[in-house]
Amino acid sequence: MKKHNFYAGPSILPEYTIKNTADAVLNFAGTGLSVMEVSHRGKEFVAVMDEAQALFKELLNIPDNYEVLFLGGGASTQFCMVPYNLMKKKAAYLNTGAWAAKAQKEAGFFGEVVEVASSKDANYNYIPKGYEIPADADYFHITTNNTIYGTEIKEDLDVNVPLVADMSSDIFSRPIDVSKYAVIYGGAQKNLAPAGVTFVIVKKDILGQTGRAIPTMLDYRTHADKGSMFNTPPVLPVFAALQTLKWLKEQGGIAAMQKKNEEKAAVLYDEIDRNKLFKGTARKEDRSLMNICFVMNEEYAELEKEFLDFATERGMIGIKGHRSVGGFRASTYNALPLESVKALVETMQEFEKKH
């Protein structure tokens, strides 16, 4: 039976990425050695790092005055690296979910944090609008896609201070205007690579302005100056990321991915809205294209476990909602084919007929 992988992260990767990475684990670039055991200073891996950074810039049309970094520590380490490198006195944060709240908490160690708006009052089921950003904030931080609650900011905001975005779960899912951001970062384990590498896109001229001493490993300039090779990078995940970047280019680039993602999301949301057993949890105008969250309608609440078992038996993997919210979550990242979404829809329809 075919397995349909809806895990939220680590999550589905393109077959292209998995096969090429598996081959390199056995024999990397004709060296006769595994990619897991070669020197990161060897010419073969240096070429991988250079190509990955170049392709990252090409696919997102990143301007010349930005650096692309591949680091360790996950997006969670970026929660402190951002204020360490950017905050002089004050930063503004938009609280749209658990990860946004964690980022905001870390910033509190470095200065004043202004929460410009929050959707916590409605269990984060919408994206706040019409808030005001303090003109004297050193930056404004947003989390573009909220994996737990299924909401997403789908456009590049125009703001009057440097904009910082955690795009862990929706990078490469739609075109973005990088020039509107000071920093974009994310864990790679959703749309790019296996867990273990973190990407950071940082505008060069924003660095070195805080006046504070920054520990070497937490200073973006350290990694920018050394091409992400100041210390040993996560070699295997960087190699896998390069394969995904090549695959994205083969698919027609980011605009083509957006079209596919919109189609997949529409198919599943249409079924959630039609099916008497289910209902979506996020407000329609803020629904995520990457993490589609839904629950049983109140009168069918007792069927939740039965549906989960029913779907799992039919090859639907990873659709259980986050433990903090329950229900169901289908993550429809770039690598998930439309056929998997259609298979889930058929499963929902079959379950509806049963009841």
| Tens of pLDDT, residues 30-66 | 999 999 999 999 999 999 999 999 999 999 999 999 9
Question: What's the average model confidence in pLDDT over 301-325?
Answer: 95
pLDDT at 116 over 90: yes
CA 20 to chain centre: 22
* Closest to 236 in 3D by CA, of 40, 30, 32: 40
pLDDT digits (tens, 9 = 90+) for 147-177: 999 999 999 999 999 999 999 999 999 999 9
Question: Could you give the C-alpha distances from 154 to 91, 151, 178, in angstroms and in order?
Answer: 22, 9, 14
C-alpha span between 170 and 150 (Å, rounded): 11
Of 138, 154, 170, 190, catalytic: 190
What are the two backbone dihedrals, phi and then psi, of residue 299, each rounded to the nearest 5 degrees? -70, -10
pLDDT at 325 over 90: no
Residue 3 is predicted with a pLDDT of: 97
pLDDT digits (tens, 9 = 90+) for 174-224: 999 999 999 999 999 999 999 999 999 999 999 999 999 999 999 999 999
99 a catalytic residue: yes
**Sequence ranges of the domains in the chain:** 4-12+253-354, 15-250
Of 166, 170, 219, 286, catalytic: 166
Of 99, 138, 154, 320, catalytic: 99
pLDDT band at 102 (very low <50, low <70, confident <90, very high): very high
% residues pLDDT > 70 (the chain):
100
pTM metric for this prediction = 0.98
Alpha-carbon dihedral 245, 251, 256, 258, rounded to 10 degrees: -50
Question: What's the average model confidence in pLDDT over 103-111?
Answer: 98
Average model confidence (pLDDT) for the chain? 97
26 Cβ contact partners less than 8 Å away, ≥ 6 residues apart: 34
Strand 112-118 and strand 90-95: the pairing is parallel
286 a catalytic residue: no
pLDDT band at 324 (very low <50, low <70, confident <90, very high): confident
| Intrachain domains 4-12+253-354 and 15-250 with the same fold | no
CATH number of 4-12+253-354: 3.90.1150.10
pLDDT digits (tens, 9 = 90+) for 60-72: 999 999 999 999 9
C-alpha span between 39 and 348 (Å, rounded): 49
CATH number of 15-250: 3.40.640.10
219 a catalytic residue: no
